[in-house]
């Protein structure tokens, strides 16, 4: 072979086997470390998740695995932050995608928007099986005020946040409902640790399409322990009144693009009676109560029906509240008297209640003491049954013999006088919008 030919072959082999691979490797390194890589990842994720995603940093330690730092998910309409995580590791090498979160922060007051976002995700086509874990989930009332200006150190926690869950496990997979329709189901388990105890919770979210529209079926199982009442805020009507309470039970939700329907069953303890009155009410009601909910049903922030047992121990009620209960709710007074003290102490408050569009029905269940000293219980059908409020074993307030219209409850809670017209105040409007809508507005009372 001629020497010129050998040199030409050697040059070509050098270019093909040495220079070309070297430039390919340099180009690949430059591509994966390009300055605009993080912005591209944010834009791609935003398009796929139908939300606004911002990422502090991102890189690929190996093919199919991506690491993210300081990830923030914002509502596409309002721009408010819904979720933030200090670090996320996404592994897409297997058929089931795996995600590992560090500390995940959720906006407590934006849970409704986060639920709508989840509804959109589960309505997307071609969903894949996923597994996700989070070391810690922290609920913050105002997430925007807690977004870090820089990457947080590894292991950093939010010391000011007390609404924390740990060891979150999530599994999502395609399934089939009883009608044979394809669905996507998420199962979430986490641990709540109050005072060193470990209380597990379970959440099941099923996404499906009904007449071409996405629908969510949610079951939140909180029956294995007492959970803080703030979890109910934004979920049930008047949930802000239960922030200081503790709840044990089950909540079922059915959501679509137009409506949110829910049912609650369980027991609530540590409820402050003053929280049941709207802010600015002229009445006083103090004490700690519990509610055994047979059921609470609502739709779009308005109660449809509520039934259960309300019980409280020692407390105080203003005489104005008792006077309005007699005038507006038609509950006879027994031993309140007309003393000069503005408040009246009581030993027991007990009543079974049913609230629906027809009105409120109450049955008093206080234990009473006869002059002979025997304890009488209303369950026995004795003449002293029907007591709503008692002190020293003697009645203070009897139950009404009527079904009380919803409008009367609004007047009792918000009126500054004994006027029979509905108060034209914002507090009255907010309360009326949360209570059942009357069947026949303006109708009078009816006997039980």
Q: pLDDT at position 222, please?
A: 92
201 found inside a domain: no
pLDDT in tens, 142-161: 665 555 543 443 444 333 44
* Secondary structure of residue 120 in the 3-state scheme: helix
Reported as a pLDDT band with limits 50, 70 and 90, residue 444 is low
Q: Which of 22-31, 183-192, 305-314 has the highest mean pLDDT?
A: 305-314
Please state, in angstroms and rounded to a whole number, the distance separating the CA atoms of residues 376 and 252: 38
pLDDT in tens, 76-130: 888 888 889 999 999 988 777 889 999 988 876 667 677 777 777 776 666 678 8
Percentage of the chain beyond pLDDT 90 is: 29
Q: pLDDT at position 353, please?
A: 96
* Secondary structure of residue 74 in the 3-state scheme: strand
pTM of the model: 0.78
- The gap between the terminal CA atoms of the chain, to the nearest Å, is 114
Output the CA torsion 14→15→17→19 (10° steps).
Answer: 110
Half-sphere exposure of 332 (CA within 13 A, CB side): 7
447 found inside a domain: yes
387 found inside a domain: yes
**Over residues 399-417, mean pLDDT:** 86
**Torsional class of 212: left (φ above 0), alpha (ψ -120 to 50), beta (otherwise):** left
Taken as a whole, the chain contains a residue count of 448
Query: Where is average pLDDT lowest: 37-46, 113-122, 167-176, 181-190?
Result: 113-122
pLDDT in tens, 184-226: 788 899 988 877 778 898 988 888 777 777 778 889 999 998 8
The answer, yes or no, to whether residue 388 has pLDDT greater than 90, is yes
233 found inside a domain: no
401 is written with which tokens? Answer: 């013999």
Mean pLDDT of the chain: 81
DSSP single-letter state for residue 169: E
441 found inside a domain: yes
Q: How many helices (H) and strands (E) does the chain have?
A: 7, 22
Q: pLDDT at position 118, please?
A: 77
Q: pLDDT at position 160, please?
A: 40
Distances (CA, A) of 297 to 233, 237, 286, 360, 388: 15, 10, 27, 15, 24
277 found inside a domain: no
Residue 293's beta-bridge partner residues? 266, 308
Q: Which helix (H) or strand (E) holds 297?
A: strand 285-299
pLDDT in tens, 343-356: 899 999 999 999 99
Please state, in angstroms and rounded to a whole number, the distance separating the CA atoms of residues 400 and 105: 48
Q: pLDDT at position 39, please?
A: 83
Residue range of the domain that includes 432: 303-448
Please state, in angstroms and rounded to a whole number, the distance separating the CA atoms of residues 357 and 446: 13
Q: pLDDT at position 416, please?
A: 59
Q: pLDDT at position 36, please?
A: 66
Q: pLDDT at position 252, please?
A: 94
152 found inside a domain: no
> What stretches of 17-110 show up as alpha helix (H) in DSSP?
20-32, 37-49
268 found inside a domain: no
301 is written with which tokens? Answer: 């922030």
Residue 213's beta-bridge partner residues? 210
Strands 387-391 and 375-376: unpaired
The answer, yes or no, to whether residue 238 has pLDDT greater than 60, is yes
How many domains are there within the chain?
Answer: 1
């Amino acid at each position: 072979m001629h020497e010129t030919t050998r040199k030409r072959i050697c040059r070509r082999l050098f270019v093909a086997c040495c220079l070309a691979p070297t430039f390919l490797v340099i180009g690949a390194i430059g591509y994966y470390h390009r300055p605009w890589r993080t912005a591209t990842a944010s834009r791609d994720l935003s398009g796929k998740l139908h939300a606004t995603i911002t990422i502090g940093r991102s890189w690929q330690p190996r093919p199919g695995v991506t690491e993210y730092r300081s990830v923030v998910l914002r509502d596409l309409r309002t721009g408010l932050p819904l979720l933030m995580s200090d670090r996320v590791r996404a592994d897409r090498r297997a058929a089931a995608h795996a995600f590992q979160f560090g500390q995940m922060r959720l906006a407590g007051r934006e849970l409704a928007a986060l639920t709508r976002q989840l509804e959109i995700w589960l309505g997307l086509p071609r969903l894949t099986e996923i597994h996700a874990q989070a070391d810690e989930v922290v609920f913050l009332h105002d997430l925007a005020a807690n977004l870090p200006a820089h990457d947080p150190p590894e292991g950093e926690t939010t010391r000011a946040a007390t609404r924390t869950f740990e060891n979150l496990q999530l599994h999502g997979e395609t399934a089939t409902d009883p009608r044979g329709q394809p669905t996507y189901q998420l199962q979430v388990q986490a641990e709540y640790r109050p005072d060193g105890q470990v209380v597990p919770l379970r959440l099941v979210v099923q996404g499906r399409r009904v007449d071409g529209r996405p629908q969510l079926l949610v079951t939140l199982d909180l029956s294995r322990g007492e959970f803080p009442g703030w979890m109910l805020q934004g979920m049930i009507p008047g949930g802000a009144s239960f922030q200081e309470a503790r709840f044990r039970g089950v909540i079922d939700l059915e959501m679509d693009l137009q409506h949110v329907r829910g049912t609650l069953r369980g027991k609530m303890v540590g409820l402050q009676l003053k929280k049941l009155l709207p802010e600015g009410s002229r009445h006083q009601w103090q004490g700690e109560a519990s509610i055994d909910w047979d059921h609470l049903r609502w739709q779009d922030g308005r109660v449809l029906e509520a039934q259960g047992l309300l019980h409280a121990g020692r407390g105080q009620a203003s005489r104005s509240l008792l006077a309005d209960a007699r005038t507006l709710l038609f509950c006879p007074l027994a031993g309140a008297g007309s003393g000069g003290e503005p408040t009246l102490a009581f030993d027991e408050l007990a009543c079974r209640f049913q609230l629906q569009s027809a009105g409120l029905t109450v049955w008093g269940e206080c234990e009473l003491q006869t002059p002979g000293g025997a304890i009488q219980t209303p369950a026995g059908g004795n003449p002293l049954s029907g007591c709503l409020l008692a002190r020293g074993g003697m009645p203070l307030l009897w139950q009404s013999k009527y079904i009380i219209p919803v409008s009367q409850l609004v007047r009792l809670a918000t009126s500054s006088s004994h006027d029979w017209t509905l108060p034209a105040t914002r507090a009255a409007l907010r309360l009326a919008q949360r209570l059942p809508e009357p069947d026949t507005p303006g109708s009078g009372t009816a006997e039980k």
